[in-house]
Structure formats: structure tokens, C-alpha cells
């Protein structure tokens, strides 16, 4: 594994060039502000009159329409949602990007699965912080950085890697370490983690545990606490110190139950299904399915999502969370911090 730090980056490779940020959501906003504060020349591409245009202006950044901004970009960071990127590339970037520019992604989905076939004169790179935009920004402001992945898909100018490291350095990634990977590895592992463990796997485990207790006659409120609410306690321990810290801070009774019953719940059948999910990612089946679902109006997606939102665990959870004052305090603090960050300068 090759890991790069601040010592490996040459910020001058990008600092005097224009970096266009196309997509001013969670990641895009964090990247743009961090790059700007690092002394880079940043131009946000956003629809005139839209909320992103106004937000970028309030943040003190230069903003222009995509059609005007893209031709000025020496590096264009395409940070819109996955399902918008192919159209954005086809309609705006491909016809307007200057020859020899760099095209940067934070997720390799569209390039890896062939939804975007970049022009051959473009450097095509990936810089993917392993954390949400708010964390990328907060860590930068505190003088730290979120570890990131870096990949080169196309090195048309011979300077793609230098540009990727300069960009990663500008957003703070080299402070946390930048791991070299490929578009294929980043994309396939990211999708697998989401589907089998972090989102699909975890939520299905939580819901099935809740349903098992409720079906057995236990109160839904108690089942909610045991199967969903307390999950954060364990995840925090794992996040901070791995298995070792979890075992250090849970009871011996919990440890014994973990070690003897856990493998019965998540067993070889689960591993077999995980391998099947991974194969569907690797051979493009999932990508084709999701792209087709999006193009057909996303009816199945919306139906499945609504089923989740209508589940009993959600109605019980909403009622219980309303009495958790610390959640309200946390939400208020985050809102206040966001308002301070977005307030225009006097």
C-alpha cells in the first residue's frame, strides 16, 4: 500500500491554475472552501439563480454558470450526484473543457462502468476523502485532514498524479494520508461496503432484530433501544479503537454472547450472499440495474425507500427520539455552526 503525505505533494502544480468545482453539495462545498483557504484559485460552476449559486457567493467564492466556468478550468472537479454526471459530462464538460485539462471525480462509478468515456486529451483522476463533506471541512479548519484515496484513470499530460496530490493536499487529505488505489478498486469496494455492511447490511440486521423481538411479544420501544439506539455505542467504540476497544468497554456477558452467537446470525450463508453481491458489482449488473432504474423514473427505488420510512421501527423511533434532549441540542449546535459559516461577511 502506497500512502502519500504533505511532503509528497507539490501545491504549486495547481495553485496558480483555475479549479472549477461543479457540484456544490456536501463534498463540493467542503472541497471548494478548503482549496480556497489553501490559496488555490477556485471557481464554482452553478446554475444562475439556484441555491448553490447563492450559497457559493455567500461563502465568498467566485461563481459562474457551468457553460462559462468549465472553459476556464485547468482542473474540473465533477462532484454532482452519480446519476447526473453522465449528462453533465456530455452536455457541458466534453464540449467546453479546454484541451489538456484535468477531470477529477470523488467516486469512480461513471468512469469505471462506462457511463462516461472521457476525452483522450484529458487527465482523469480521483480524490475521494473517506468521510462526509462536513467532516472534511471541520478537520481542515482544525489543522487536520480526513484520509483520502487517490487514483489515476488517464494520464494524458504526464502530470495527472502531481495534480491529484496537489488537489488532495489543498483539501487537507495529505494531512490524514492519501492511499493510492484504482478507479475499479475504489468504486467496487465503496459499493460493496454500502450494500453489504454499512447501509444495506446494517439496516437489515437492525430491522430484523427489531421485528424478531416484537414478534416475540416484547414492547416495540424496548426493542428499538436494544436493536437500533444502542448500535451507536458499539459503532463508536469500533470506529475509535476497533475490536479491541469494543471488547474493552462492553461487559464479559456481552463479549461471550458476541463470540458464541454472532457467528450463528452472520454465518456462511451471509458470506455466500456477500460474494454474490460483490460479483454483481464487479460484472456491472448493479450499475446497469441502477442506471436503468434512474432512467425509467425510479419507481421501484421510491417504493422500496417508502417501505423503509413507513416501518414500525421508524414511527417508534421518531416518538422516542423526541424525548432525547441531547439529540435536539446536537442538531441546534450544528445548525448554529452552519449559519455562522454561511453568513456573508459584513
**pLDDT (tens digit per residue) in 283-299:** 999 999 999 999 999 99
Helices marked H in 127-182 = 133-141, 160-170, 173-176
Per-residue pLDDT at 335: 57
**pLDDT (tens digit per residue) in 94-129:** 999 999 999 999 999 999 999 999 999 999 999 999
337 pLDDT higher than 60: no
345 pLDDT higher than 50: no
The share of the chain scoring above pLDDT 90, in percent, equals 93
Domains of the chain, by residue range, sit at: 3-181, 198-324
Residues in the annotated binding site for NADP(+): 24-27, 47, 52, 133
**pLDDT (tens digit per residue) in 136-158:** 999 999 999 999 999 999 999 99
Crossing angle of the two packed helices 285-295 and 299-309, in degrees rounded to 10: 100
340 pLDDT higher than 60: no
316-322-323-328 Cα dihedral, nearest 10 degrees: 140
CA-to-CA distance for 196 and 325, rounded, in angstroms? Answer: 32
| Region for residue 282 given its phi and psi (left: phi exceeds 0; alpha: psi -120 to 50; beta: otherwise) | alpha
What's 215's DSSP letter? H
Residue 107: active-site member: yes
Domain 3-181: CATH superfamily is NAD(P)-binding Rossmann-like Domain (3.40.50.720)
Residues in the annotated binding site for Mg(2+): 190, 194, 226, 230
Per-residue pLDDT at 334: 59
Per-residue pLDDT at 328: 76
Per-residue pLDDT at 2: 86
For CA atoms 205, 209, 210, 214, the dihedral sign is: positive
Residue 11 near residue 38 (C-beta atoms within 8 A): yes
The percent of the chain in helix, strand and coil, each rounded to the nearest 5, is 65, 10, 25
10 pLDDT higher than 80: yes
Per-residue pLDDT at 113: 98
**pLDDT (tens digit per residue) in 215-250:** 999 999 999 999 999 999 999 999 999 999 999 999
231-234-236-238 Cα dihedral, nearest 10 degrees: -130
The share of the chain scoring above pLDDT 70, in percent, equals 95
User: Region 186-205: what's the mean pLDDT?
Assistant: 97
Task: Identify the CA nearest to 232 among candidates 141, 312, 330.
Answer: 330
If you average pLDDT over every residue of the chain, what do you get?
Answer: 94
CA-to-CA distance for 89 and 160, rounded, in angstroms? Answer: 19
- pLDDT category at 342 given cuts 50, 70, 90 is very low
CA-to-CA distance for 106 and 312, rounded, in angstroms? Answer: 36
Residues in the annotated binding site: 24-27, 47, 52, 133, 190, 194, 226, 230, 251
| Region for residue 128 given its phi and psi (left: phi exceeds 0; alpha: psi -120 to 50; beta: otherwise) | beta
3-state secondary structure string, 68-91? HHHHHCCEEEECCCHHHHHHHHHH
Per-residue pLDDT at 177: 97
Helices marked H in 9-103 = 12-15, 26-37, 51-58, 66-69, 82-88, 94-96
pTM comes to 0.91
Catalytic residue among 31, 107, 112, 153: 107
Residues in the annotated binding site for substrate: 251
Amino acid at each position: 500500500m502506497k500512502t502519500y503525505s504533505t511532503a509528497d505533494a507539490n501545491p504549486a502544480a495547481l495553485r496558480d491554475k483555475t479549479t472549477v468545482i461543479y457540484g456544490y453539495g456536501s463534498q463540493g462545498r467542503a472541497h471548494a472552501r478548503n482549496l480556497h483557504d489553501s490559496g488555490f484559485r477556485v471557481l464554482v460552476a452553478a446554475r444562475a439563480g439556484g441555491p448553490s449559486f447563492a450559497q457559493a457567493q455567500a461563502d465568498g467564492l467566485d461563481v459562474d454558470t457551468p457553460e462559462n466556468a468549465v472553459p476556464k478550468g485547468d482542473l474540473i472537479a465533477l462532484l454532482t450526484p452519480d446519476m447526473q454526471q453522465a449528462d453533465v459530462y456530455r452536455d457541458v464538460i466534453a464540449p467546453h473543457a479546454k484541451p489538456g485539462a484535468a477531470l477529477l471525480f470523488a467516486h469512480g462509478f461513471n468512469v469505471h462502468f462506462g457511463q462516461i468515456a472521457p476525452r483522450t486529451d484529458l487527465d482523469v483522476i480521483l480524490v475521494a476523502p473517506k468521510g462526509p463533506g462536513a467532516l472534511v471541512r471541520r478537520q481542515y479548519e482544525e489543522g487536520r485532514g480526513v484520509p483520502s484515496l487517490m487514483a489515476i484513470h488517464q494520464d494524458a499530460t504526464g502530470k495527472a498524479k502531481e495534480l491529484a496530490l496537489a488537489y488532495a493536499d489543498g483539501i487537507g487529505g495529505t494531512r490524514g494520508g492519501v492511499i493510492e488505489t484504482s478507479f475499479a478498486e475504489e468504486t467496487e469496494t465503496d459499493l460493496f461496503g454500502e450494500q453489504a455492511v454499512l447501509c444495506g447490511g446494517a439496516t437489515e440486521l437492525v430491522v430484523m432484530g427489531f421485528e424478531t423481538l416484537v414478534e416475540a411479544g416484547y414492547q416495540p420501544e424496548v426493542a428499538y433501544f436494544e436493536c437500533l439506539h444502542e448500535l451507536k455505542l458499539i459503532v463508536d467504540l469500533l470506529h475509535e479503537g476497533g475490536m479491541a476497544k469494543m471488547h474493552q468497554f462492553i461487559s464479559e456477558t456481552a463479549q461471550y454472547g458476541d463470540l458464541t452467537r454472532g457467528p450463528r446470525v452472520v454465518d456462511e450463508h451471509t458470506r455466500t450472499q456477500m460474494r454474490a453481491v460483490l460479483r454483481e458489482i464487479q460484472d456491472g449488473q448493479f450499475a446497469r440495474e441502477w442506471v436503468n432504474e434512474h432512467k425509467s423514473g425510479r419507481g421501484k427505488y421510491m417504493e422500496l425507500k417508502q417501505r423503509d420510512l413507513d416501518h414500525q421501527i421508524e414511527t417508534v423511533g421518531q416518538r422516542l427520539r423526541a424525548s432525547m434532549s441531547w439529540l435536539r441540542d446536537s442538531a441546534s449546535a450544528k445548525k448554529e455552526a452552519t449559519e455562522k459559516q454561511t453568513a456573508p461577511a459584513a
